Amino acid sequence: MIDDIIFGLGFVAIVEGLVLALAPLHLKKALFLLVSMRPDRVRVLALIFIALGVATIALVRR
């Protein structure tokens, strides 16, 4: 199980690094949009992404 967690963290680092390397201007625009949003909207957006991530993992682990 710990191997899966470490793998997941490494994969997230790779994806974030790719975004920074391949589309830095798009990332800046997305971050600006995020900063301009109300905190409650950001929280809802984060919860939606968490739910999508959990659902994806559940489907893959079947």
Print pLDDT tens along the chain (62 aa). 888 889 989 999 999 999 999 999 999 999 999 999 999 999 999 999 999 999 998 999 88
Contact 58, 51 (CB under 8 A): no
Radius of gyration of the chain measured on its C-alpha atoms: 14
- Residue 61's pLDDT is 86
- Residue 9's pLDDT is 92
Q: Is the pTM of this model over 0.75?
A: no
Contacts of 34 (CB under 8 A, 6+ apart): 42
* Alpha-carbon span 28 to 25, nearest angstrom: 5
**Domain coordinates of the chain in residue numbers?**
2-60
- Residue 24's pLDDT is 93
For 15, 16, 21, 35, 54, the CA distances from 60, given in Å and listed in that order, are 18, 21, 28, 33, 10
